[in-house]
Structure 1
Amino acid sequence: MEVVVIGGGPAGRSAAMEASQLEAEVTLIEKDKIGGKCLHKGCMVVCGLNDVAKFYLDSQNYQKQGMISEIPEINFSEVTKRLRDTTGKIKKVLEFETHSTGVEIINGEAHIQKDRVVVDNKEIPYDKLLIATGSRAKIPPIRGVENAVTYADLPYLEDLPEKLLIVGSGVIAAEFASIFSSFGSEVRVFCRSQFLKMLDPEVKEYVIKNLLPGVDITEGARVNEISNEGLKIAQQTVEGQVLLATGLTPNSEIAQNMVKIGDHKEILVDSHMQTSNPCVYAAGDVIGGVTNTPISRMEGVIAARNACGISSTMDYSWTPQSISLYYDVSFLSPQDHQAGTVATIPGSAGPGSFWRVLEGKTGLTKVSVDLDEGFITGVSSVSPSSRTNMAYLAKMIRDGYKAPDFDDFLEVHPSTDAVYKLLRFFGEYI
């Protein structure tokens, strides 16, 4: 069985390694860098910048409380340089890991023919093809949009923007608003619709008030024009560097003439990650839907298994998601929202939140439960540990755990996880 995977990001790399471990002959083609958008332009970039932002905010807090005498200065050009150095080193680790499973990696741009892929005049035949070409920043039809930057440009910035104008309303907009406002930039966010509409309203209010306190957010804003000086909204001109955070566009052009493409340029697949062409599978951002790294990895694994003759189905229920701010903002709900009885408590003091107790800013946790059946129907948590906690909680809920099952739950202390406290509370009434 010869399997060719196009794209070396989370979906493609996971698919290639899975197929190789299932004894297929696997060739992975990547035209840029192994690791894809996540490592070099997306989540890991946010992770690196966010670590520096948290350190800077903590330093300000420690100085305010009289525990240190000076606040360190940020050398922004050195931050972005070290960021690129670090992602480059991680790339080498990923290459070694991929090679070690028996995958052949080819660098170059792939062109698909009927039963083969061509890279630099080299023909690579395949029995099954897996497309994991990811996505790119979505560029809205705004006059002068070429004057704006996107997330892909941020790792190469030399100077910290004095004023940053973010166009967008989702996770990317919130994360960069948090990072750059923490660094000292004057940040404004312009949303065509509602800001962070995926969040519970109470959680959203907490986020805006406590985690984005210096950020000016305008909802229902329509940007008319972008220039080197800033942007124009209605009749008002606002000065600053414009950053587009208006979503993602799937890189599906490579498959335009061989599989069905959706209205948003996504490659259409079934629950087995199979396209309209029975020999072709697709996974990751190129198929749209929930675009995050764990989902892409799982889609890649599912696609590889099916391509190798092992029936496997993708399950999107209870997908844990998060936003990287000073505290992680994590949330979990089924695809079809279910009602339940709701309880909310402040976040716990502990690692990462202890020195915010005096300000009353330790986070927030909110849980909803169906008291008749004991089913957990929704969870939101703002805390330093919520990202990790939410992943395990999602697995437990999928496996049938109910609120009363947490009666004998033992946490590792000290912890900032407050979810189990609420579930114990609900368990007493069920």
Structure 2
Amino acid sequence: MTDPAYDYDLFVIGAGSGGVRASRIAAGYGARVAVAEEYRVGGTCVIRGCVPKKLLVYGSHFAEELQDAANYGWTVEKMTFDWPTLRDAVAKDVDRLNAAYTNTLNSNKVEHFLDRATITGPNSVRLASGREITAKHILVAVGAWPVMPEFEGSEHCITSNEVFHLESLPRRVVIAGAGYIALEFAGIFNALGSHVTVVNRSETILRSYDASLRDRLLQITMARGIEYKFNCGIERVEQHEEGCLMVHMKGQPDPLPADAVLVATGRRPKTDGLGLENAGIELGAHGEIVVDELGQTTCPSIFAVGDVTNRVQLTPVAIREGHAFADRVFGGKDTRVSYDCIPSAVFSQPPLASVGLTEAQAREKLGSNVKIFTSDFRPMKNIFGHRPERGLYKLVVDAQTDKVLGVHLIGPEAPEVLQAAAIAVKAGLTKADFDATVALHPSMAEELVLMR
């Protein structure tokens, strides 16, 4: 398998979820593998994304849980919150995960360089330290990076990269964007006591999700105190001497005062300065690396996986792509990645989760041959909390075949419920199969099999 003409059989640029998985599997097949990572091992998800953000979500939930505790007989005195304690605990866990991912590379005999690597040719890279390295195959797995739009005062704003390191909890937060990152942080700061205003260029939040879930989330978050400014964007941000930021918006006469301005308007593949032109690698309209169905670029010896390809920007997808790449190239297996029925979730408050076709997508595809089943209920968890918030579960069904085409949920623990439901959708089960399943009572998940 190894080729003595090269320093390595595989050189991976980027030690995130996709790159680490590809490295580990390729090394397991006997390949000589090296990885270069310019910052920390683990990538966006582990270091500055899903994992630390989910820990902040958990931390913010205690505001609600502690308030509810009295209704369950608990006495909680002197309830206070200390942002540095939560921030530092999250940072400590990020350190743990960085060490764990590094150990994974070490235990699988993958050499790793904490250095930036750029491509110098079809089979060569150069480290920032100056070392030249050759490899039979190169895998680019550098992920994506937050987009910071150009406007006056943008240097006073932060992105999802910096939000984990705030010195103190901001009293007033303005968030630009209404995608999943924006709304997750809106929920976190709102629960922790900050006044949150979401500024969005359109009038739609979470564009890719079912309209019923979007509408329900908007209603609930507004009732919780999150304010929205639709059809406007940030025009400029001014910093006053006392540290206050004034956010001026297009079409809005009055600026918004803020202590922090979080820009969450999208992520762009991190391809700048990688030297891709040295190997004739084609880029797409958004700077993404163009690949075929097997992850191969326009240079036959170079492949790409994960967010840098801008196909599906989800960690589990990057992991599957990296694994499949190693299986094919080094394991002799024709492993493919299915992009059909990929589940996703937004850890907003409350969270929502979806898999398969939305109602609008199904009607566009099947016309009138669509049946919709819903359960609009008050979760038992909310009863003692005196919150009127209602959960909503929705099934999208093919009226001719009875096949469940989509499942869409909003309510407490919706992502946990959705993972199992995604298996059913992926397997092609019918509404009759759902109906034939005995309910697990009392649970929110039982609503999936009780819709008639």
Aligned to 1:221: 232
Q: How does 1:351-390 map to 2 (within 5 A)?
A: 353=381, 358-361=386-389, 363-390=391-418
Q: Does 1:421 align with 2:439?
A: no
The alignment-based identity, stated in percent, is 25
In structure 2, distance between residues paired with 1:265 and 1:141:
17
Aligned to 1:399: 427
In structure 1, distance between residues paired with 2:376 and 2:298:
49
The one of 132, 137, 140 equivalent to 2:149 is 140
Native 8 Å contact 2:197 2:226 kept in 1? yes
Aligned to 1:177: 186
Aligned to 2:6: none
Letter aligned with residue 315 of structure 1: S
Native 8 Å contact 1:46 1:324 kept in 2? no
1:360 offset after TM fit, Å?
Answer: 3.9
Q: How does 1:306-325 map to 2 (within 5 A)?
A: 306-308=328-330, 309-325=332-348
Q: Structure 1 residues 107 and 99 mapped into 2: Cα distance closer, same or farther (>3 Å)?
A: same
Runs (5+) with no aligned partner, structure 2? 3-8, 240-244, 364-369
1:413 offset after TM fit, Å?
Answer: 5.7
Q: How does 1:15-414 map to 2 (within 5 A)?
A: 15-63=22-70, 67-70=74-77, 72-114=79-121, 115-119=123-127, 120-193=129-202, 194-211=204-221, 213-228=224-239, 229-233=245-249, 234=251, 235-240=253-258, 241-253=260-272, 254-257=274-277, 258=279, 259-308=281-330, 309-334=332-357, 337-339=361-363, 340-347=370-377, 349=379, 353=381, 358-361=386-389, 363-409=391-437
SS in 1 for 2:162: helix
Structure 1 stretch displaced more, 5-14 or 119-128: 119-128
In structure 1, distance between residues paired with 2:193 and 2:413:
26
In structure 2, distance between residues paired with 1:331 and 1:222:
28
SS in 2 for 1:316: coil
Native 8 Å contact 1:409 1:420 kept in 2? no
In structure 2, distance between residues paired with 1:375 and 1:204:
24
1:363 offset after TM fit, Å?
Answer: 2.1
In structure 1, distance between residues paired with 2:53 and 2:172:
19
Letter aligned with residue 183 of structure 2: A
SS in 2 for 1:380: strand
Structure 1 stretch displaced more, 129-138 or 254-263: 254-263
SS in 1 for 2:102: helix
In structure 2, distance between residues paired with 1:330 and 1:356:
24
1:334 offset after TM fit, Å?
Answer: 3.9
Q: Count residues in correspondence.
A: 422
Native 8 Å contact 1:333 1:379 kept in 2? yes
TM-score by length of 1: 0.91
Letter aligned with residue 13 of structure 2: I
In structure 1, distance between residues paired with 2:263 and 2:341:
29
Structure 1 stretch displaced more, 207-216 or 132-141: 207-216
1:211 offset after TM fit, Å?
Answer: 4.2
TM-score by length of 2: 0.87
Structure 1 stretch displaced more, 211-220 or 154-163: 211-220
Structure 1 stretch displaced more, 180-189 or 375-384: 375-384
In structure 2, distance between residues paired with 1:411 and 1:25:
51
In structure 1, distance between residues paired with 2:267 and 2:378:
35
1:293 offset after TM fit, Å?
Answer: 1.1
Native 8 Å contact 1:63 1:70 kept in 2? no
Letter aligned with residue 264 of structure 2: A
In structure 2, distance between residues paired with 1:184 and 1:171:
20
SS in 2 for 1:242: strand
In structure 1, distance between residues paired with 2:384 and 2:323:
41
1:412 offset after TM fit, Å?
Answer: 5.9
Please give the per-residue CA displacement for 1:346-372, whole angstroms capped at 9, x wherever unaligned: 35746xx26557434352211111132
In structure 1, distance between residues paired with 2:404 and 2:138:
39
In structure 2, distance between residues paired with 1:83 and 1:239:
28
Structure 1 stretch displaced more, 236-245 or 71-80: 71-80
1:166 offset after TM fit, Å?
Answer: 0.4
In structure 2, distance between residues paired with 1:97 and 1:415:
38
